[in-house]
Amino acid sequence: MQRMSRVSTAEGLARLGVRRLLLAIHDVSFPSDADEDTGRGSPGTRAASRLFAYAKSLGFTGIQLGPQGQTSRSNPSPYDSTIFGRHIGNIGLASLRRAGPLEGLVTDDDIEHAVTDSADIAEGARTGTVARHRSAYDAMHAIVDTAWRAFRSGARPDLAAPFAAFRAANASWLEREALYLAICATHDGHGFRSWPAHERDLWIGADRAIIGALVTAHAGVLDRHAFGQFLVEIEHRRVRTEAERVGLALYGDLQVGYADADAWAYAPVFRRDYLMGAPPSRTNPEGQPWGYPVLDPAQYAGAARALVAARAEKAFAEYDSMRIDHPHGLICPWVYRADDRDPAVAVRAGARLFESPDLDDHPALVAFAIVRGEQIDRAQPRYADRWVHELDATQIDRYAVLFDVLVERARAHGREASDLSCEVLSTMPTPLEAVLARYDLGRWRITQKANLDDATDVYRAENARRQDWVMLGNHDTAPVFSLVKSWPPTKREAWARHLAGRLQLAQPERLASDGFFASAMLAELFVSRAENVSIFFADLFGIEDRFNVPGLVDDANWTLRLPADFDALHRDRLARESALDLALAVDLALAADRAQR
């Protein structure tokens, strides 16, 4: 594909009013060189640094990461990871080798043995195309174990004072995470739901004598866990510095859910009778029983608010801004009964926590209702966006209590509310809309889902507002190249007509090329009113394999990775018109913009 003008991509985006262009990529998908590959990606690799520089050269202004918490060995979903602790898989092996900031804690032989001895290392993992979670988990834990023993034996004494300071500053969550790991180990790895009551409900009773005895009994686990978190915190600071060096903002991801370790450790702030999920919607007609705990509204002025504030404080201290995963969970969560034996049935029969003043099947929610009965449209299903049709200012204030904390912490760290990216997809209930409006925040519009037969459809780019975030897809959708190839001729023809009209294409016949077609879809994002554009890495590089299928528990999920030669791959695919061409998309958008003036 050839450019039509000499305007740089960055200058072109500025002319089009695009302020933020983020490359979205999760930790596991980052590339690694052969000598730093554990079977899992990390933003701390040398190859990741090259990716940062390459993204900047293409015109990106930032990197959108996924949640960076520690996952379990059996569940790699980053949206089920810890809310405070980091994934130790993000420790770059190069940092542990000669001349790295963590040099002297392990030897090259230690690293090689840990990686080689780990289970299920496959060729795809070692060549950087497929992640192998269990083997990477085992390898990095073995490496951290070795590093901890070396540190205790006197290696790197210069790290002693910084480690002590880190541990003191983060003592509360370090202790809880480590105790969870220690008690899990005494139960053959089984989670807290199967533990004896005195251990399962440890934090509900909060007997400091018992907790203190456990801390003493498991002191070794606590020490080692804290050291691993200290190392990965050093790595994160280095990664952030590297992103800043090349001129990229680093966006974190504040997930709506909690790891099992957090559900156990902060049990007193959660309801025990309800769980959080996604209601039936256009995206998921059956709903999704996530099984996440629900913050207790009775503690919104106390412990629940404090937990949200602590998460927000840590997040805005460590990232330039944040993606807020499913902000409904902080404003108007959809909840379902925890005692129902069939969660799939329960979530469909659920209700919104604060919008259920008189439901016969959810009498426990009456006490938490913010809306009044006359503000509800009974002709609508209870999950509908307009189930509540009006709110007064006092009610909006009550809905906003936890979200206000995020904005407050953002501003305290020099960010603006407009920097926040709120993942609002097919559902925008009245309370959520009202809270976002008070901060002039927009929604997400994933244009591959657009209904071209409905001019009002929320996913259509022409309906985007200035404050919205637009994208072709994200980590939960099919990559755009595989999607376009899967469309029947009638759908592709309809999209071709749509794009030709939106972009006023001089050569609409070029839409016969998949690469031109996908780049034209990207150009449509650039001509929309939205100031914020996100591109998922699989779409950018023309990868057709899927990263994640929502609701599917499968070893193939969360495994897609970029190879170390990603730049050569991209250039080759651009030459063959099988990857997104940002420069072409900008030129098409500028031409359309000129034609519309």
Pairing of β 351-352 and β 444-446: unpaired
CATH, range 255-442: 3.20.20.80
pLDDT tens, residue order, the chain (597 aa): 445 556 899 999 999 999 999 999 999 999 999 999 999 999 999 999 999 999 999 999 999 999 999 999 999 999 999 999 999 999 999 999 999 999 999 999 999 999 987 655 444 444 457 999 999 999 999 999 999 999 999 999 999 999 999 999 999 999 999 999 999 999 999 999 999 999 999 999 888 899 999 999 999 999 999 999 999 999 999 999 999 999 999 999 999 999 999 999 999 999 999 999 999 988 788 999 999 999 999 999 999 999 999 999 999 999 999 999 999 999 999 999 999 999 999 999 999 999 999 999 999 999 999 999 999 999 999 999 999 999 999 999 999 999 999 999 999 999 999 999 999 998 999 999 999 999 999 999 999 999 999 999 999 999 999 999 999 999 999 999 999 999 999 999 999 999 999 999 999 999 999 999 999 999 999 999 999 999 999 999 999 999 999 877 777 899 999 999 999 999 999 999 999 999 999 999 999 998 886
Residue of 418, 433, 448, 458 whose CA lies nearest to 538: 448
Quote the Cα angle for 475-277-544, to 5°: 15
The beta strands (E) that lie in 410-569 are given as 421-422, 444-446, 469-471, 532-536
> Which sequence spans correspond to the domains of the chain?
1-66+443-597, 84-251, 255-442
Q: How many of the other CB atoms lie within 10 Å of CB of 342?
A: 10
Distance CA 138, CA 120 (A): 10
H helices of 218-287, in order, are: 219-246, 260-265
Residue of 227, 196, 249, 335 whose CA lies nearest to 60: 249
In what order do the strands lie in the sheet containing 270-278? 288-295, 270-278, 334-337, 351-352
String of DSSP letters for 447-470: GGG--TT-TT-TT-GGG--TT-EE
For the CA atoms of 152, 156, 160, 163, what is the dihedral angle to 10 degrees?
A: -90
Number of H helices, E strands in the chain: 25, 12
The token pair that represents 130 in the structure block = 């497929």
Is 268 in contact with 204 (CB distance < 8 Å)? yes
